[in-house]
Structure 1
Amino acid sequence: MKKYTRIRKKCWASLWSPRAIHYRANQGFEESGVALAVILQEMAPHEVSGVAFTVNPLAGEANELMINGAPGLGEAIVQGEIIPDQWLARKPDGAVLRFTPAPKPGQIPAVTAGYKRPLRGCLTSLQIRELAGYCLSIEKHFGGTPQDIEWSYGDGAFYFLQSRPITTLQ
C-alpha cells in the first residue's frame, strides 16, 4: 500500500511541474479547476500471451482463426521481435488445422533438412479450442466484424487485453 501512496503522490506532484503549469497557462486552464485521476491496474497473469485473429489475415480465409502465442508477455509478438507459435483453427469449433512451432533459440526459423519440430507449442489443443470459442464470442459481440485480439493466459484462465477490427483484410 505504501508503494501506491508514493505513486499517487508522484502523480499529484506532476500537476505542478513547470511544464504542466506552462501548458495550462497556454491553454487557458484555471489552476483551481485542476484535477487528477490515478488508475492502478493489476497486470493480467501472463504465462503465455499472444494475438488471435478471427479471420486468417494471411490467406483471407473466413473459416479459419489464426492464433499466435509465446511464453511470457505478448509485447514481443506485437512488436514483431519474435516468431511465435502459430495455430490455424477451424471455425466454429476451434479444431487445430495446422500448427507451426516457433523456432527455438539457435534454430533456423525455416523448414530445413533435419529440422525437428516439437510435438506441441505453448498451448494445448484444448486451450486453442477454448481460446477460439472466446474469440468468436468477441467477434459476435462486435457485430460479426473480424477481430484482432490480444490475450494472455495464466493461473488457469484466459484474459483479454484488447480487441479491435482487423485492418489488413481486403
Structure 2
Amino acid sequence: MDANVAKLVATDKLQDWGEVASEIKGRNRSKTFQVAAPLWIKRMVNEGKLLLNPSIIAQLREQEWIPTELQKQMIWASIVCKLDSPEQRQEKARIRSLIQKRYDNEWWEEVYERAGRVWPAWDRYKKNILSVGTATATLAAHSSVLGQAFNREFEAILKMVPAL
C-alpha cells in the first residue's frame, strides 16, 4: 500500500484528509483519495467508529466499501452527530465549509438533517459503551459473556440509525 494511502486510512478524522495529504497534488491526490476511501470506511466500520445501520454496512461490503452519494451523506452524518458539545462548534463549522465547497449547501443540509436522526444512537453509544471505563472495557474484551453483551448493545445501537 502506498505510504500516502496508508496515512489517510490511519487518520480517523475524514475532515483532516486535506491536511494529511497536503503534499499530494493534482491527479495523484484524487487517485490517492479514491484508493484510500474504501479502506478507511472498512477500517472505521470494523472498529465501530462509524454509526451506520447494519443494512447499510452490508451494502457497503457488497460494494467493496465504495459508497454511493447517499451512503457518503450517512457517513458524514455519523461524523457530524458526534460533534455535539459547544467546544466542537468550530469543527462542525469547518466540516460544513468543506462539504459546501465539495458539494453544495443542499448536500450539507441533508447531512445535517441525517446527523440529527443519528444523534439518539450516538447518545446511547456514549452512555452505554463509551462511559463504562477502561476496567469494564478490558473485562468485556476478555469475557465472552460480557463481550457478547457489549456486541448486542452495539448492534442495537446501530439498528437505531436510519437506513434511508
Fold conserved (TM > 0.5)?
Answer: no
Which structure has the larger Rg? 1
Q: Which has the higher helix share?
A: 2
TM-score of the pair, normalised by structure 2: 0.31
TM-score of the pair, normalised by structure 1: 0.30
Q: Which has the higher strand share?
A: 1
